[in-house]
Amino acid sequence: MGRPRDPLAREELLAAAVTEFVAHGLEGARVEDITARAGRSKGSFYLHFKSKEEAFQQIVEALTRDLDAAIMPPPQGSDLADAAELLLRAAAADQRVFEFLWERRAVCRMVLTGAGSMDYRHLVDGFAEKARASTLQWLRWGQAQGLYRDDVDLEVASMAVAGAYDRVARAVITAEHKPDIAGWVSEVSRLVTRGLGTPRLLALLDGLTPAAAPDRKAG
Amino acid sequence: MGRPRDPLAREELLAAAVTEFVAHGLEGARVEDITARAGRSKGSFYLHFKSKEEAFQQIVEALTRDLDAAIMPPPQGSDLADAAELLLRAAAADQRVFEFLWERRAVCRMVLTGAGSMDYRHLVDGFAEKARASTLQWLRWGQAQGLYRDDVDLEVASMAVAGAYDRVARAVITAEHKPDIAGWVSEVSRLVTRGLGTPRLLALLDGLTPAAAPDRKAG
DNA sequence: CCTCAGAATGACCGGCGGGTCATCAATACG
DNA sequence: CGTATTGATGACCCGCCGGTCATTCTGAGG
């Protein structure tokens, strides 16, 4: 029976790796700096990870898993009044995703810049495409429910909508102080519903949220 | 009087550098590959550029200059009818920018991914922020002209709008075949004007473009 | 206490690639 | 032709850093 492993080593090395990857990117981060930050020897890194890239992968996979768990899938069907309310619920879910992004903003920044590495730029593309695909599903569902106009090209609109949310998300994760997430999400949501919605949806939403609109300009 | 310089050397080296930077990013591209691609010796690279980074800078500066020239600044003032027509002209200018992006798509891809380098990720941020600032100016002008609703938070809306255009731009520069740029730009423009516009603007635009709307769904 | 086995260590190895520079090559001029 | 000057060349230099491994250290068990 040999010496037992230090139970904290792996997690401390991973935490140090996050810090270094965030600051310098995958390629700029040095194993020597990571291990020094964790107060360990350079060689001990390789007792836990096969390579620098493997540590990075594990960090990204954990983030991806948690982010997927935070994203709300589109519903399967409803009538118009229920559907409008589901849209409001989707906006609340969007807000929770943005809260998540704020809490994990450093790692998200790292991932959303492809870690400063050509080998991982597919991360950016992957996240963007996943968001657009989800948006497209929502838009298809909304159009089928009569929420969104029939003349909207959903392929293009899904790109634009996903891009709008993406840009605001980037502003959230790069802000120095926590922004007004609820207000921001609400503003984007309004742009989308007004930009794509049928007159009936707009009337419905105006009925559901009457007092909110006049106060906005003061904020 | 010594040996004259090869008049083609610098441009050929720059063209080769573009190809290598696009494929491998700034850090992944090797001077040896660049010079081999240009059919020259490795050392001759340094007769023209102080370093690999300097060659990259020159490529980016040329692109930035050309892109700035392609972007239309916001107008200074107008009445409502003129303003609505100016909006249509802005949409045409947007289309020209997207045409430019398509023509220079390889270099644009390179720049918009920060060249796979942490040192140049500010390129992405810089372009995004410039686009948002320009959008904000347009939105301010539009709101002052009564085109956009008073209850719109322009700081957030400018992010969302810029993000929508940015995302579609990314789709253009990564497409394998030239997309329907006019149709895409028109769709985003409609999302924005409907999402932000006053009822009077919407009525005006419907008057200016009556036949376009019903044909859209077929395309 | 001693022995054993596995963890931890950090000097070292070696591949990579940006940049250098002694040498060769190519013009112009007398 | 020879000479002088400048451009072009590619073998070499050397710093960087991921990963290795012989050595030392440290718990557990007897």
SS3 A72: coil
Which of A123, A135, A194 would best serve as a mutation to test chain B binding (most B beta carbons within 10 A)?
A194
B177 alpha carbon, distance to own chain's centre: 18
Query: Does B140 touch chain A if contact means CB atoms closer than 8 Å?
Result: no
User: Which residues of B are less than 8 Å from A213 in CB distance?
Assistant: 151
* Cα angle, residue A46 at apex, residues A42 and A52 outer, rounded to 5°: 90
Q: What is the pTM of this model?
A: 0.88
Q: Find out whether B20 and B33 touch, Cβ atoms under 8 Å.
A: yes
Average pLDDT value over all residues in chain A:
87
Range in A30-34, B12-16, B88-92, B187-191 with the lowest mean pLDDT: B88-92
- For B166, the token pair is 């940015």
Query: Does B211 touch chain A if contact means CB atoms closer than 8 Å?
Result: no
Distance A43 CA to D23 C1' (A): 13
User: According to the model, what pLDDT value does residue B209 have?
Assistant: 55
Distance A91 CA to D24 C1' (A): 59
B167–A128 C-beta distance less than 8 A:
yes
Judged against a pLDDT cut of 90, whether residue B19 lies above it is answered with yes
User: According to the model, what pLDDT value does residue A146 have?
Assistant: 87
- For B186, the token pair is 């028109």
Judged against a pLDDT cut of 50, whether residue A212 lies above it is answered with no
Which residues have C-beta within 8 Å of that of residue A90, sequence separation ≥ 6?
A72, A138
pLDDT tens digits for range A93-138: 899 999 999 999 999 998 888 788 888 888 888 889 999 999 999 9
Nearest CA in chain B to A22: B118
Could you give the ipTM of this predicted complex? Answer: 0.86
* A101: amino acid identity, one letter: L
- The nucleotide whose C1' lies nearest the CA of B44 is D8
The b/e string for A174-202 (b: 16+ C-beta within 10 A; e otherwise) is eeeeebebeebbbbbbbbbbbbbbbeebe
pLDDT tens digits for range B45-67: 999 999 999 999 999 999 999 98
B184–A167 C-beta distance less than 8 A:
no
Beta-carbon contacts below 8 Å between A and B = 140
Domains recognised in chain A with CATH numbers: 9-54 (1.10.10.60), 71-218 (1.10.357.10)
B190–A192 C-beta distance less than 8 A:
no
How far lies B167's CA from each of A162, B33, B188, in Å?
A: 8, 32, 10
Query: Does B168 touch chain A if contact means CB atoms closer than 8 Å?
Result: yes
Judged against a pLDDT cut of 90, whether residue A30 lies above it is answered with yes
Q: How far is B3 from chain A (nearest CA, A)?
A: 40
Which residues have C-beta within 8 Å of that of residue A190, sequence separation ≥ 6?
B195
B27 alpha carbon, distance to own chain's centre: 23
pLDDT tens digits for range B78-122: 666 677 777 778 888 899 999 999 999 999 998 888 788 888 888
Range in A41-55, A117-131, A164-178, B78-92 with the lowest mean pLDDT: B78-92
Scanning A141-160 for CB atoms below 8 A from B yields 150-153, 156-157, 159-160
How far lies A100's CA from each of A97, A190, B39, B119, B142, in Å?
A: 5, 21, 52, 27, 34
Judged against a pLDDT cut of 60, whether residue A178 lies above it is answered with yes
B28–A151 C-beta distance less than 8 A:
no
Spell out the SS3 assignment of chain B: CCCCCCCCHHHHHHHHHHHHHHHHHHHHCCHHHHHHHCCCCHHHHHHHCCCHHHHHHHHHHHHHHHHHHHCCCCCCCCCHHHHHHHHHHHHHHHHHHHHHHHHCHHHHHHHHCHHHEHHHHHHHHHHHHHHHHHHHHHHHHHHHCCCECCCCCHHHHHHHHHHHHHHHHHHHHHCCCCCCHHHHHHHHHHHHHHHHECHHHHHHHHHHCCCHHHHHHHC
Of the candidates A194, A198, A160, which has an alpha carbon nearest to the alpha carbon of residue B188? A160
